[in-house]
Amino acid sequence: MKIAVIGGAGAMGRTIIRDLSESSEVKQILVADYQEGKAKEYAASFKDSRIKGSFVDAYQIKETANLIKGYNAVINSAQYYVNISIMKACLEAGCHYNDLGGMFHTTRKQLELFDDFKKAGLTAVLGIGSAPGITNILAGYAYDRLDEVEAVRLSAAAVDMTDMKDIDVFAPPYSIRTIMEEYSDESVQFINGEYKTLPPLSGAEETVFPELIGRRTCIHTLHSEPATIPASFKDKGVKEVTWRLSLPPEFEEKAKFLASIGFASTEEVKVQGVKVAPVEVLAAVLDKHVKEKLEGVELKINDVECLRAQVIGKKDERKVEYVVDCIARTHSRWGVDCSTGVPPSIVAQMQVEGIIKEPGVWGPEQVIDPEYFFKELAKREMCVEVTIKEALA
């Protein structure tokens, strides 16, 4: 199989490439990125003839289609702004597609391409990273075992125990652009059977996660799970689908401050006669900050993340609650958190192998067999744990 990764030079893309490289079934891998030099440099670092780097401007649909033509599947790990453009390029080139999410609103627009993908005989899986992605499939596991589903409450929390060697560095765990949106945009949650728009940083709720993470306060943020799960679980009567997030507290405090003073804004401001978007300035400054602080420093990353689906419903007329957790630690060989990069690699291979068969545009919970997927996660050192509470009368 031949798989292209757009945004392959970014942090998530690099983990995707690494996972694909360890599959003997993958015969060609394309690392495509707007930063051509970084894409080619990373591809060359593997010293593997299967892997090559290339430039791509994903907004250019025809040029992107020409680049990916002949590949079986495309993994989009770029910012979600280009999701629809890349999907259209896949339709033109005849490639299966998956991505890391569309921050709810873009995901909803992507679903409108269902008929186009169905007619082309292609599958598109939307939001198949850690969250969205693993979270959807954790919920799907519980859904399959219940007669009725009342509520799906999704959450995630992480703790970073890396020895930073007394270096004071502000290093985002994923795209700072995405984090700024999560902390500044209104979120959309599915509550009492309808979508509701809620203020930024609302819905604070204490949640007890497994050991090492412990008790954390989680908040609503804009996310893609509520964009697909209400329709997916409609047949069993779902009335609530919500999402909450807790990032490491020290990081979270600083990120919230930056969002509060306007660094989340994409609206350009004039600085000494030059128009700049505050969020792009922040991204550039942070990139420089992290590089300078960590240049020549060898760090052994040590973090742990819990992705959770709490699903409440009924089985045989009794109330049942499933708590399904995925625990992801730093990969022992790769030295990185792979919870976001591994799932799209697994799913792209499932798409090409025909394990995901039904053409169209889908949420992960609709087309991915949870038990098959969990076994693949376990091979990458991620474990899934289930707790079931059942009323006796």
What are the pLDDT digits (tens) for 1-58?
999 999 999 999 999 999 999 999 999 999 999 999 999 999 999 999 999 999 999 9
All structural domains of the chain: 2-129+340-362 (3.40.50.720), 134-335+381-388 (3.30.360.10)
250 phi and psi angles, rounded to 5 deg: -65, -40
Question: What is residue 84's three-state secondary structure?
Answer: helix
Question: Can you give the pLDDT at residue 120?
Answer: 98
Distance separating alpha carbons of residues 373 and 343, to the nearest angstrom: 8
Question: Can you give the pLDDT at residue 269?
Answer: 94
Query: Of the given ranges (159-168, 188-197, 259-268), which has the lowest mean pLDDT?
Result: 159-168
Distance separating alpha carbons of residues 342 and 276, to the nearest angstrom: 34
117 phi and psi angles, rounded to 5 deg: -70, -35
Distance separating alpha carbons of residues 226 and 80, to the nearest angstrom: 16
Among 200, 307, 301, residue whose Cα is nearest residue 246: 307
Question: Can you give the pLDDT at residue 28?
Answer: 98
Distance separating alpha carbons of residues 39 and 53, to the nearest angstrom: 5
Interior CA angle at 345 toward 108 and 127, to 5°? 15
pLDDT category at 211 given cuts 50, 70, 90 is confident
DSSP code at position 173? S
Distance separating alpha carbons of residues 178 and 172, to the nearest angstrom: 10
Among 60, 90, 91, residue whose Cα is nearest residue 74: 90
Positive or negative, the CA dihedral 6, 304, 282, 37 is negative
- C-alpha 246: how far from its chain's center? 15
Residue with tokens 């697994």: 346
Q: Name the pTM for this structure.
A: 0.94
Residue with tokens 């039904």: 358
Q: What is the largest CA-CA distance in the chain?
A: 71
Q: What is the DSSP string of 122-138?
A: -EEE---BTTTBHHHHH
Q: Hey, what are 243's tokens?
A: 């999402």
With contact defined as beta carbons under 8 Å apart, do 119 and 288 qualify?
no
Distance separating alpha carbons of residues 312 and 367, to the nearest angstrom: 21
Q: Would you say residue 359 has pLDDT above 80?
A: yes
Among 152, 158, 107, 89, residue whose Cα is nearest residue 328: 158
389: which strand partners? 321
Distance separating alpha carbons of residues 126 and 133, to the nearest angstrom: 8
Question: Can you give the pLDDT at residue 160?
Answer: 87
Q: Average pLDDT, stretch 233-253?
A: 94
Among 127, 113, 27, residue whose Cα is nearest residue 70: 27
Q: What is the DSSP string of 189-221?
A: EEETTEEEEE-TT---EEEEPSTTT-EEEEEE-
Mean pLDDT over each residue of the chain, to the nearest integer: 96
- C-alpha 381: how far from its chain's center? 18
Q: Average pLDDT, stretch 308-324?
A: 97
Query: Of the given ranges (157-171, 222-236, 267-281, 345-359), which has the lowest mean pLDDT?
Result: 157-171
End-to-end CA distance of the chain: 52
Q: Average pLDDT, stretch 180-188?
A: 95
Q: Average pLDDT, stretch 67-80?
A: 97
pLDDT category at 161 given cuts 50, 70, 90 is confident
> 211: buried, middle or exposed (CB in 10 Å: 19+, 13-18, 0-12)?
exposed
With contact defined as beta carbons under 8 Å apart, do 216 and 209 qualify?
yes
